[in-house]
Amino acid sequence: MSDDVKLSKVEAIKTDSIYLHGGLDKEMSSEGGAVSDEAYELLKFHGSYFGFDRDTATERKKAGLEKEWEFMVRMKAPGGRITAKQYLGLDSICEKYANGTLRITTRETFQFHCIIKQNMKKHIAAINELLLTTLGGCGDVVRNVMTSPAPKKDKLHLKLVEDANAISEFTLPKTSAYHEIWLDGENMARNPSNEDYEPLYGKVYLPRKFKISVSVPEDNSMDALTHDLAIIQIWEAGELLGYNLLLGGGLGMTHNKPETYPRLATPIAFIEPDRLLDGVAAVVKLHRDYGDRSNRKHARLKYVVEENGIEWTRSKLEELYGEKMQDARPMGQFKVVDHMGWHEQGDGKWYLGVPVSSGRIIDRGDEKIRTGLREVVAKYGVDLVLTADQNIILCDIAQTDKQEIVDDLKSFGIKLVEDITPVYRNMLACVALPTCGKALADAERIKLPVLEEVEQVMEKHGILDEEIAIRVAGCPNGCSRPYVGDIGIVGRMPGHYAMFIGGDFEGTRLNTKILDRVPQENIKEVLDILFAKYKAEKEEGEGFGDFADRAGIAGLAQLVESNLGDKYKWAKAA
């Protein structure tokens, strides 16, 4: 960027922190539950967001009480891989230091909620004792690296996991601040002018967060095209030829700010197998050097690619890579694989995908998910994989244990894939209220009530067996990836949502907004109209998003308005 551009406040905080140290050590050991704005920004790099319980804030203010301050902690687990020992340890940590739940994120990892400041150091240290880390779980660095969750033992899947681990290790921040603050590490010499201290990121790190996935077209269950860098392995006759690099995906936007928008990654180049980390470094540095550091809402790599064009992007990338790059190779059709239920691993053992509503591992009513998973993992010693659709996979199961594991899970009321509808299976929701400071409306807390209404409407129209992906987000930042689902429901204000339709189930097409402020209780009325049209006019095997795209999204929006516009002010086509 030009030296004349006024940098954002966060850029100054990063610069002054001397590689993420700042005053965190003193602040986190001080009295009280809150932290400064500087600490709020730096904590992200260490894997934590600071906030407060938004449900109780107003009443406490009226009573003259301080807000209920709390922290969220997010760890890293490349490809979602967790050992049995680690899982049992994390289950204990969430009970001891957090709110007694584990939450699977849409990036194949865990986060913990409602941690008080006095427990933060113990919480993070306990995670590290399990040989896991929270460093880079949030912040302006490469986040958790995603890949196929399938724990298959064939050459392709083993290579996917190998690459995800290598990229994660390569992009992990090198600062000593994390170990000094949380793990009582040695206070290493700090030299703010030494760029080699963070050879990949530099002293100010990236302009914004950076997301990477490594996958194959045959399994796009992690929505690869929504990443800043989507690495697609190219195989032929059982051999890895190399990698396509697709740049500039990202979903965050701001309502009524057209200069912000979701975007899917674009194929830019192909690299040889032995240059993977060189390619990753070049793309990360492209963002580092050319990303917008003046406006954080315009700071993602997608804006660099979109506004400068493909040729410019390729040229700058080649400069950073050190040589000319090949054109991206042809890729097969992207598909979404369902990893729920039983699947063979390829080594004589099996894996079982277990659905977890909104990724929240909690004992809820008759469904004792947390207790049941803990008992099964402890009894059978199975490793686990966390999936991008907020579910969990139990791995390495012997044929002789299959039925007993099913019986054990069902004894705790845990639903398996045969117990739920396809729309239940394919509905995601972010955390939102009351713990997310960005949320404009509920998401996780309304998922099951909205799902029940959706199922009723689908059953009414005879389409309950259709695969329809619905994503609910509490704000337009889009953590539940609402802009690539068949239907996106995005928080607009408390109790009201913007509705989007026309994405495809495979995650290769963005959807389009049709309505802006739909009250939660009226979502079912909108879907009733749309599903009736879908049932009447869909082609054989056509998904809802594909139908909406073919039929014309503007026309469907007008259809809703013509049916509901006289009754509701909000029912005006967007």
Residue type present at position 531:
F
Q: Among residues 14, 107, 211, 300, which one is catalytic?
A: 211
549 neighbors 476 (Cβ within 8 angstroms): no
325 φ, ψ to 5°? -110, 150
Q: Is 74 a catalytic residue?
A: yes
From the list 76, 8, 70, the residue with the least C-alpha distance to 40 is 70
Q: Among residues 94, 114, 395, 436, which one is catalytic?
A: 436
Placement of tokens 């060189």 in the chain: 278
The DSSP output letter for 149 is: -
Q: Among residues 94, 114, 138, 475, which one is catalytic?
A: 475
Q: Is 62 a catalytic residue?
A: no
Report the first-to-last Cα separation within the chain, whole angstroms.
Answer: 36
List the Cα angle 186/189/192 in 5-degree steps. 135
List the Cα angle 373/388/539 in 5-degree steps. 115
Q: How far apart are CA 173 and CA 513, in angstroms?
A: 38
The size of the chain, in residues, is 574
Q: Is 360 a catalytic residue?
A: no
Q: Among residues 76, 103, 209, 300, which one is catalytic?
A: 209
From the list 39, 94, 98, 33, the residue with the least C-alpha distance to 69 is 33
Q: How far apart are CA 201 and CA 192, in angstroms?
A: 13
Q: Among residues 143, 263, 300, 447, which one is catalytic?
A: 143
Q: Is 60 a catalytic residue?
A: no
- Does residue 244 sit in helix, strand or coil? strand
For every residue of 493-542, DSSP letters joined together read: ETTEEEEEE---TTS-S--EEEEEEEEGGGHHHHHHHHHHHHHHHPPTT-
Q: Is 329 a catalytic residue?
A: no
Q: How far apart are CA 153 and CA 396, in angstroms?
A: 10
The alpha carbon of residue 113 and the mean position of all alpha carbons in its chain are separated, in whole angstroms, by 16
Q: Is 209 a catalytic residue?
A: yes
Q: Is 436 a catalytic residue?
A: yes
Q: Among residues 114, 430, 471, 492, which one is catalytic?
A: 430
CA dihedral angle for residue 248, residue 254, residue 255, residue 260, rounded to 10 degrees: -40
79 neighbors 109 (Cβ within 8 angstroms): no
Question: Which tokens is 88 given?
Answer: 């049992």
Q: Is 143 a catalytic residue?
A: yes
Q: Among residues 74, 81, 152, 285, which one is catalytic?
A: 74
CA dihedral angle for residue 525, residue 530, residue 536, residue 537, rounded to 10 degrees: 170
Annotated catalytic residues are 74, 143, 209, 211, 430, 436, 475, 479
